[in-house]
Structure 1
Amino acid sequence: MSGLRDIIVQLFRFVIYAAVHVLLISRLVLFDLGWCFLYLGFLLFLPLRTPIVVQLLLSFAMGLTMDIFYDTGGLHAAAAVLLGFLRPWVLRLLTPRDGYDSGDTVNVHQMGWQWFTVYLLLLVVLHHTAFFVLELGSFRHFGTTLGKILVSALFTSVALLIIQLLFFPVRRGRN
Protein backbone atom coordinates (compact mmCIF):
# COMPACT_ATOMS: atom_id res chain seq x y z
CA MET A 1 0.00 0.00 0.00
CA SER A 2 2.96 2.30 0.58
CA GLY A 3 3.82 2.15 -3.14
CA LEU A 4 0.39 3.50 -4.09
CA ARG A 5 0.67 6.17 -1.42
CA ASP A 6 4.07 7.27 -2.81
CA ILE A 7 2.63 7.51 -6.33
CA ILE A 8 -0.29 9.62 -5.12
CA VAL A 9 2.05 11.90 -3.15
CA GLN A 10 4.29 12.39 -6.21
CA LEU A 11 1.32 13.12 -8.47
CA PHE A 12 0.09 15.69 -5.94
CA ARG A 13 3.57 17.27 -5.82
CA PHE A 14 3.64 17.36 -9.65
CA VAL A 15 0.34 19.23 -9.80
CA ILE A 16 1.32 21.65 -7.01
CA TYR A 17 4.71 22.54 -8.53
CA ALA A 18 3.23 22.95 -12.02
CA ALA A 19 0.26 25.00 -10.82
CA VAL A 20 2.30 27.30 -8.59
CA HIS A 21 4.81 27.86 -11.39
CA VAL A 22 2.20 28.54 -14.07
CA LEU A 23 -0.15 30.66 -11.94
CA LEU A 24 2.29 32.63 -9.77
CA ILE A 25 6.00 32.27 -10.33
CA SER A 26 6.08 32.62 -14.11
CA ARG A 27 5.20 36.30 -13.73
CA LEU A 28 8.32 37.04 -11.67
CA VAL A 29 11.23 38.38 -13.72
CA LEU A 30 14.39 39.96 -12.32
CA PHE A 31 15.70 42.90 -14.36
CA ASP A 32 14.45 41.31 -17.58
CA LEU A 33 17.35 38.88 -17.17
CA GLY A 34 16.35 36.28 -14.57
CA TRP A 35 13.45 33.86 -14.49
CA CYS A 36 12.52 31.44 -11.74
CA PHE A 37 11.94 27.87 -12.88
CA LEU A 38 10.25 26.70 -9.69
CA TYR A 39 8.92 23.53 -11.34
CA LEU A 40 12.46 22.13 -11.18
CA GLY A 41 11.88 21.57 -7.49
CA PHE A 42 9.61 18.66 -8.35
CA LEU A 43 12.41 16.97 -10.29
CA LEU A 44 15.26 17.87 -7.96
CA PHE A 45 13.46 16.80 -4.79
CA LEU A 46 12.29 13.38 -6.02
CA PRO A 47 13.18 10.53 -3.65
CA LEU A 48 16.72 9.20 -4.08
CA ARG A 49 15.45 5.71 -4.81
CA THR A 50 13.42 6.85 -7.86
CA PRO A 51 14.46 4.72 -10.88
CA ILE A 52 16.05 6.61 -13.78
CA VAL A 53 13.32 5.61 -16.23
CA VAL A 54 10.69 7.10 -13.92
CA GLN A 55 12.81 10.24 -13.49
CA LEU A 56 13.09 10.65 -17.25
CA LEU A 57 9.37 10.15 -17.77
CA LEU A 58 8.49 12.60 -15.00
CA SER A 59 11.02 15.10 -16.37
CA PHE A 60 9.49 14.85 -19.82
CA ALA A 61 5.96 15.18 -18.42
CA MET A 62 6.85 18.26 -16.36
CA GLY A 63 8.76 19.85 -19.24
CA LEU A 64 5.95 19.12 -21.69
CA THR A 65 3.43 20.61 -19.26
CA MET A 66 5.47 23.83 -19.14
CA ASP A 67 5.86 23.81 -22.95
CA ILE A 68 2.09 23.52 -23.37
CA PHE A 69 1.44 26.50 -21.12
CA TYR A 70 4.21 28.69 -22.55
CA ASP A 71 4.21 27.55 -26.18
CA THR A 72 7.97 26.99 -26.10
CA GLY A 73 8.12 24.12 -28.56
CA GLY A 74 9.92 21.56 -26.44
CA LEU A 75 12.55 23.77 -24.77
CA HIS A 76 11.36 22.98 -21.26
CA ALA A 77 10.98 19.28 -22.08
CA ALA A 78 14.48 19.00 -23.53
CA ALA A 79 16.15 20.81 -20.63
CA ALA A 80 14.08 18.92 -18.03
CA VAL A 81 14.93 15.54 -19.57
CA LEU A 82 18.61 16.51 -19.52
CA LEU A 83 18.23 17.34 -15.83
CA GLY A 84 16.49 13.99 -15.22
CA PHE A 85 19.30 12.21 -17.05
CA LEU A 86 22.11 14.00 -15.18
CA ARG A 87 20.56 13.78 -11.71
CA PRO A 88 21.68 10.18 -10.97
CA TRP A 89 25.20 11.04 -12.14
CA VAL A 90 25.35 14.04 -9.83
CA LEU A 91 23.93 11.97 -6.96
CA ARG A 92 26.63 9.35 -7.57
CA LEU A 93 29.27 12.08 -7.70
CA LEU A 94 28.09 13.49 -4.37
CA THR A 95 27.53 10.16 -2.59
CA PRO A 96 28.63 10.41 1.05
CA ARG A 97 31.39 8.07 2.23
CA ASP A 98 28.83 5.83 3.99
CA GLY A 99 26.43 5.98 1.03
CA TYR A 100 22.81 6.99 1.12
CA ASP A 101 20.36 5.39 3.54
CA SER A 102 17.28 3.78 2.01
CA GLY A 103 15.09 6.46 3.56
CA ASP A 104 17.22 9.45 2.49
CA THR A 105 15.61 12.23 0.53
CA VAL A 106 17.01 15.34 -1.09
CA ASN A 107 16.64 17.55 1.95
CA VAL A 108 18.92 20.38 3.09
CA HIS A 109 18.32 19.44 6.73
CA GLN A 110 19.23 15.79 6.17
CA MET A 111 22.10 16.10 3.68
CA GLY A 112 23.67 19.30 4.95
CA TRP A 113 24.20 22.72 3.46
CA GLN A 114 27.37 21.95 1.51
CA TRP A 115 25.99 18.83 -0.17
CA PHE A 116 22.67 20.48 -0.94
CA THR A 117 24.23 23.67 -2.34
CA VAL A 118 26.55 21.78 -4.69
CA TYR A 119 23.71 19.46 -5.80
CA LEU A 120 21.25 22.28 -6.37
CA LEU A 121 23.59 24.73 -8.12
CA LEU A 122 25.17 22.10 -10.36
CA LEU A 123 21.88 20.74 -11.67
CA VAL A 124 20.15 24.11 -11.93
CA VAL A 125 23.07 25.64 -13.87
CA LEU A 126 23.17 22.64 -16.23
CA HIS A 127 19.40 22.88 -16.82
CA HIS A 128 19.49 26.63 -17.39
CA THR A 129 22.48 26.38 -19.72
CA ALA A 130 20.66 23.84 -21.87
CA PHE A 131 17.43 25.85 -21.79
CA PHE A 132 18.88 29.24 -22.70
CA VAL A 133 21.33 27.93 -25.32
CA LEU A 134 18.50 26.01 -26.98
CA GLU A 135 16.27 29.09 -26.75
CA LEU A 136 18.87 31.25 -28.48
CA GLY A 137 19.81 28.61 -31.02
CA SER A 138 23.38 29.88 -31.37
CA PHE A 139 26.23 31.45 -29.46
CA ARG A 140 25.81 34.83 -31.18
CA HIS A 141 24.70 36.71 -28.05
CA PHE A 142 26.74 34.71 -25.61
CA GLY A 143 27.13 37.52 -23.02
CA THR A 144 23.40 38.06 -22.67
CA THR A 145 22.78 34.32 -22.57
CA LEU A 146 25.43 33.85 -19.89
CA GLY A 147 23.81 36.62 -17.86
CA LYS A 148 20.40 34.95 -18.19
CA ILE A 149 21.90 31.61 -17.13
CA LEU A 150 23.63 33.00 -14.05
CA VAL A 151 20.86 35.32 -12.82
CA SER A 152 18.14 32.74 -13.46
CA ALA A 153 20.17 29.98 -11.79
CA LEU A 154 20.68 32.13 -8.72
CA PHE A 155 16.99 33.18 -8.66
CA THR A 156 15.79 29.57 -9.07
CA SER A 157 18.26 28.19 -6.51
CA VAL A 158 17.30 30.74 -3.85
CA ALA A 159 13.59 30.06 -4.44
CA LEU A 160 14.12 26.29 -4.18
CA LEU A 161 16.21 26.71 -1.04
CA ILE A 162 13.37 28.73 0.51
CA ILE A 163 10.95 25.92 -0.46
CA GLN A 164 13.26 23.43 1.27
CA LEU A 165 13.52 25.47 4.43
CA LEU A 166 9.78 26.12 4.65
CA PHE A 167 8.21 22.85 3.57
CA PHE A 168 10.68 20.01 4.12
CA PRO A 169 10.85 18.52 7.60
CA VAL A 170 13.85 18.73 9.86
CA ARG A 171 15.01 15.21 10.65
CA ARG A 172 15.80 14.81 14.33
CA GLY A 173 18.86 12.53 14.46
CA ARG A 174 19.86 9.51 12.43
CA ASN A 175 18.81 5.95 13.24
Structure 2
Amino acid sequence: MSEMESITEEGFRLKMVMEEFRVFPDVFTYYSALIDGLCKECRLDDANLFFSEMCDRGLVPNGVTFITLINGQCKSGRVDLALEIYQQMVTKALKADLVLYNTLVNGFCKGGYFRESRKLVGEMTKRGLRPDKFMYTTLLDGSCKEGDLDLGLEMKNLFLI
Protein backbone atom coordinates (compact mmCIF):
# COMPACT_ATOMS: atom_id res chain seq x y z
CA MET A 1 0.00 0.00 0.00
CA SER A 2 1.42 3.36 -1.00
CA GLU A 3 1.62 6.30 1.38
CA MET A 4 -1.22 8.05 -0.51
CA GLU A 5 -3.41 4.95 -0.25
CA SER A 6 -2.80 4.71 3.47
CA ILE A 7 -3.68 8.38 3.91
CA THR A 8 -6.90 7.92 1.94
CA GLU A 9 -7.82 4.80 3.93
CA GLU A 10 -7.14 6.73 7.13
CA GLY A 11 -9.52 9.40 5.85
CA PHE A 12 -12.25 6.78 5.41
CA ARG A 13 -11.65 5.48 8.93
CA LEU A 14 -11.91 9.04 10.25
CA LYS A 15 -15.23 9.45 8.44
CA MET A 16 -16.63 6.32 10.12
CA VAL A 17 -15.48 7.52 13.56
CA MET A 18 -16.98 10.96 12.94
CA GLU A 19 -20.32 9.44 11.95
CA GLU A 20 -20.24 7.13 14.96
CA PHE A 21 -20.04 10.23 17.16
CA ARG A 22 -22.72 11.92 15.07
CA VAL A 23 -20.31 14.47 13.65
CA PHE A 24 -21.08 14.57 9.97
CA PRO A 25 -18.48 15.78 7.51
CA ASP A 26 -19.22 18.59 5.11
CA VAL A 27 -18.07 19.34 1.59
CA PHE A 28 -15.18 21.54 2.65
CA THR A 29 -13.69 19.61 5.54
CA TYR A 30 -14.00 16.12 4.23
CA TYR A 31 -15.54 15.20 0.91
CA SER A 32 -13.35 17.32 -1.36
CA ALA A 33 -10.20 16.07 0.38
CA LEU A 34 -11.11 12.40 0.03
CA ILE A 35 -12.27 12.79 -3.56
CA ASP A 36 -8.91 14.41 -4.31
CA GLY A 37 -7.07 11.49 -2.68
CA LEU A 38 -9.10 8.93 -4.59
CA CYS A 39 -8.47 10.72 -7.89
CA LYS A 40 -4.74 10.89 -7.19
CA GLU A 41 -4.77 7.13 -6.57
CA CYS A 42 -6.65 6.64 -9.87
CA ARG A 43 -9.59 5.20 -7.93
CA LEU A 44 -12.03 7.15 -10.06
CA ASP A 45 -14.98 4.80 -9.66
CA ASP A 46 -14.64 5.16 -5.89
CA ALA A 47 -14.35 8.94 -6.26
CA ASN A 48 -17.53 8.97 -8.35
CA LEU A 49 -19.37 6.85 -5.79
CA PHE A 50 -18.18 9.10 -3.00
CA PHE A 51 -19.32 12.15 -4.97
CA SER A 52 -22.76 10.53 -5.39
CA GLU A 53 -22.90 9.77 -1.67
CA MET A 54 -22.13 13.39 -0.91
CA CYS A 55 -24.97 14.57 -3.18
CA ASP A 56 -27.36 11.92 -1.78
CA ARG A 57 -26.74 13.36 1.69
CA GLY A 58 -27.94 16.72 0.45
CA LEU A 59 -24.51 18.31 0.38
CA VAL A 60 -23.90 20.63 -2.55
CA PRO A 61 -20.50 20.16 -4.19
CA ASN A 62 -18.41 23.27 -4.50
CA GLY A 63 -16.24 24.34 -7.42
CA VAL A 64 -13.14 22.73 -5.91
CA THR A 65 -14.91 19.38 -5.65
CA PHE A 66 -16.06 19.55 -9.26
CA ILE A 67 -12.64 20.62 -10.58
CA THR A 68 -10.93 17.85 -8.61
CA LEU A 69 -13.26 15.21 -10.01
CA ILE A 70 -13.11 16.59 -13.56
CA ASN A 71 -9.31 16.78 -13.45
CA GLY A 72 -9.08 13.16 -12.28
CA GLN A 73 -11.35 12.00 -15.09
CA CYS A 74 -9.40 13.97 -17.72
CA LYS A 75 -6.03 12.68 -16.53
CA SER A 76 -7.33 9.13 -16.82
CA GLY A 77 -8.62 9.69 -20.34
CA ARG A 78 -12.27 9.61 -19.27
CA VAL A 79 -13.08 12.84 -21.06
CA ASP A 80 -16.72 11.93 -21.74
CA LEU A 81 -17.31 11.44 -18.02
CA ALA A 82 -15.50 14.71 -17.27
CA LEU A 83 -17.91 16.48 -19.60
CA GLU A 84 -20.90 14.85 -17.86
CA ILE A 85 -19.61 16.08 -14.50
CA TYR A 86 -19.14 19.55 -15.97
CA GLN A 87 -22.77 19.48 -17.17
CA GLN A 88 -23.85 18.56 -13.62
CA MET A 89 -21.93 21.57 -12.38
CA VAL A 90 -23.68 23.86 -14.85
CA THR A 91 -27.05 22.34 -13.88
CA LYS A 92 -26.35 23.16 -10.23
CA ALA A 93 -25.75 26.78 -11.32
CA LEU A 94 -22.15 26.82 -10.13
CA LYS A 95 -20.04 29.28 -12.07
CA ALA A 96 -17.27 27.80 -14.13
CA ASP A 97 -14.01 29.69 -13.80
CA LEU A 98 -10.80 29.81 -15.80
CA VAL A 99 -9.24 26.98 -13.75
CA LEU A 100 -12.12 24.67 -14.67
CA TYR A 101 -11.99 25.60 -18.35
CA ASN A 102 -8.21 25.12 -18.42
CA THR A 103 -8.68 21.68 -16.85
CA LEU A 104 -11.30 20.67 -19.41
CA VAL A 105 -9.50 22.10 -22.44
CA ASN A 106 -6.24 20.43 -21.39
CA GLY A 107 -7.99 17.09 -20.86
CA PHE A 108 -9.83 17.35 -24.17
CA CYS A 109 -6.71 18.23 -26.14
CA LYS A 110 -4.68 15.43 -24.56
CA GLY A 111 -7.53 13.00 -25.13
CA GLY A 112 -7.77 13.84 -28.83
CA TYR A 113 -10.97 15.89 -28.54
CA PHE A 114 -9.53 19.09 -29.97
CA ARG A 115 -12.72 20.21 -31.74
CA GLU A 116 -14.68 19.87 -28.49
CA SER A 117 -12.08 21.95 -26.69
CA ARG A 118 -12.69 24.75 -29.18
CA LYS A 119 -16.40 24.64 -28.35
CA LEU A 120 -15.55 25.03 -24.68
CA VAL A 121 -13.40 28.06 -25.46
CA GLY A 122 -16.32 29.59 -27.35
CA GLU A 123 -18.62 28.94 -24.41
CA MET A 124 -16.08 30.38 -22.02
CA THR A 125 -15.67 33.60 -23.98
CA LYS A 126 -19.47 33.99 -24.16
CA ARG A 127 -19.43 33.91 -20.36
CA GLY A 128 -16.95 36.77 -20.30
CA LEU A 129 -13.80 34.78 -19.53
CA ARG A 130 -10.68 35.25 -21.63
CA PRO A 131 -8.20 32.45 -22.26
CA ASP A 132 -4.86 32.80 -20.49
CA LYS A 133 -1.39 31.81 -21.67
CA PHE A 134 -1.82 28.25 -20.37
CA MET A 135 -4.94 27.69 -22.43
CA TYR A 136 -3.39 29.38 -25.43
CA THR A 137 -0.39 27.03 -25.23
CA THR A 138 -2.63 23.98 -24.77
CA LEU A 139 -4.73 24.90 -27.80
CA LEU A 140 -1.73 25.59 -30.00
CA ASP A 141 -0.22 22.26 -28.98
CA GLY A 142 -3.53 20.51 -29.63
CA SER A 143 -3.92 22.02 -33.08
CA CYS A 144 -0.38 21.00 -34.02
CA LYS A 145 -0.98 17.44 -32.81
CA GLU A 146 -4.17 17.38 -34.87
CA GLY A 147 -2.08 18.43 -37.86
CA ASP A 148 -4.18 21.55 -38.30
CA LEU A 149 -1.65 24.37 -38.37
CA ASP A 150 -4.17 26.73 -39.99
CA LEU A 151 -6.41 26.21 -37.01
CA GLY A 152 -3.47 26.94 -34.74
CA LEU A 153 -2.90 30.22 -36.52
CA GLU A 154 -6.62 31.00 -36.32
CA MET A 155 -6.49 30.39 -32.57
CA LYS A 156 -3.43 32.63 -32.31
CA ASN A 157 -5.32 35.44 -34.03
CA LEU A 158 -8.32 34.89 -31.77
CA PHE A 159 -6.19 35.41 -28.68
CA LEU A 160 -4.48 38.51 -30.01
CA ILE A 161 -7.81 40.35 -30.22
> Which interval holds the TM-score relative to the shorter structure?
0.3 to 0.5
Q: TM-score, normalised by structure 2?
A: 0.32
Q: Give the number of the structure with larger relative contact order, counting CA–CA contacts within 8 Å between residues 6 or more apart.
A: 1
TM-score (norm 1): 0.30
Report the structure, 1 or 2, having the larger helix content: 2
Which is greater in Rg? 2
